[in-house]
Structure 1
Amino acid sequence: MAKLSVNINKIATLRNSRGGNNPDLVKVALDCERFGAEGITVHPRPDERHIRYQDVFDLKAMIATEFNIEGNCREQKFVDLVLASKPAQVTLVPDADGQITSNHGWDTIKHKDYLKEMVALFQAAGIRVSIFVDPVVEMVKAAAESGTDRIELYTEAYAHNYYDNREKAIVPYVAAAHKAHEIGLGINAGHDLDLHNLKYFSESIPGLLEVSIGHALVSDALYLGLENTIQRYLHQLKH
């Protein structure tokens, strides 16, 4: 069964909208763990519009499950943050400046030498590395050549096409996962996975280790409650 890592960026957005510390980000993370989440994910950005850099240290000191920090390693401040906080995993995402949300994976062929350097840097600090990639076999192969431990499959295209033809939508992800498994890469996934499309995805992807879900999960929690929502997501991951 793939692990569920809850991305709490949206909780931080809500907190920041009024200042102060309501909702308490650390308490929410601890409650997510208590309700069954097996990891906590954050994605700090340079403007700190949701996750603040201090949040990373506050969370690291308190959470007991796996801590995953996503972000753009081309920002030196992000690199320094990860090396100082030493999460269990860093997920390298090629965000552009001012980007609202992640919307593409790395071109691991074009940036292979750079990624190899960054992967080695984080691994030397004892941090597992995952590279955010589109479901393209060639990108998966080049990611492996960087020395990364895992890839994270960018699942927006799957989610977008799920209702039109889920069998067709999953095809490139299955191919990418088979290639990753063949060459020894761990497989994570995330972006726009939700209670409707998660079960089919998790059942279809061989060797899926972890999904990171934030926006949909927090949105569902407005209606269903946080504990019930997390339990429902965990149920979708059970085969």
Structure 2
Amino acid sequence: MSDQPSAAEEIMDGVYRALRAHGYADVTMQDIADECSKSKSLLHYHYDTKEDLLVAFLDYVITDSEARIRAHADEPPIERLAGFVGWFVFEADAVDREAFHIALLELRTQGPFNERIREQLVRSDRLLRGTVADILESGIENGTFREVDVEETAALVVATLDGARTRQITLTGGDGDGAGDRDEADGAGDSDEADADGDGATAEGGDATAVDDLPEPTYTRRVAEATLQRIVAPLLADGVALPSLEDGIAAMSRDDETE
């Protein structure tokens, strides 16, 4: 990696933009070079392969997340936890952020087959669960939260939020609002090929996607709100107020979208 931090950050920003535009499977070293205004040969001088560069990028993203979390370490535990929950919310028009997380999801699928990528994914998982556990421990100590199994609760919170994010980005078609999928599903009933019995099956015998099965554009927001109300609120000691989800989102606002 370059000895000049600014150059390294420029390369990582280029990886971020290239992944958003092309996805993990299709992105090339040339795509990354084009996005960061560096030559392909310069990238290969610092990173032998695309895999080397993408592993370095994962390290960069996780390190950035660690720094963002540390920046809130002195805030009240309930505010930190609300901020953590808000961190997972996708706005309906966050197309670029969604595209980036789709690329990250592609990277995550390589975990079972690539030890170096798996090591970074394990590090990320430990960071997320460890952050919630640390918040809960601090809150129990100062009387914000009731006594709970912090590791079990942290695992539940992370699984809920990460699962919601994964469901939204994989089932809305990657267009930020899911409109394309919904339009196709809505139109299926009007097609000449639609089943005459109205059971949702096509003339060829395939099952049409039910509109109700598709996540809403605000799915992560609804799950985040439910997480606050159904998981976090019961943990609060008497007299402790639950912050709003909007407060949580604002608390973890980012200078950019790389988390």
Same fold flag (TM > 0.5) = no
**Which of these two proteins has the greater Rg computed from alpha carbons?**
2
Normalising by structure 2, what TM-score? 0.28
Q: Which has the higher helix share?
A: 2
Q: Which has the higher strand share?
A: 1
Normalising by structure 1, what TM-score? 0.30
Greater RCO, 1 or 2 (C-alpha within 8 Å, sep 6+): 2
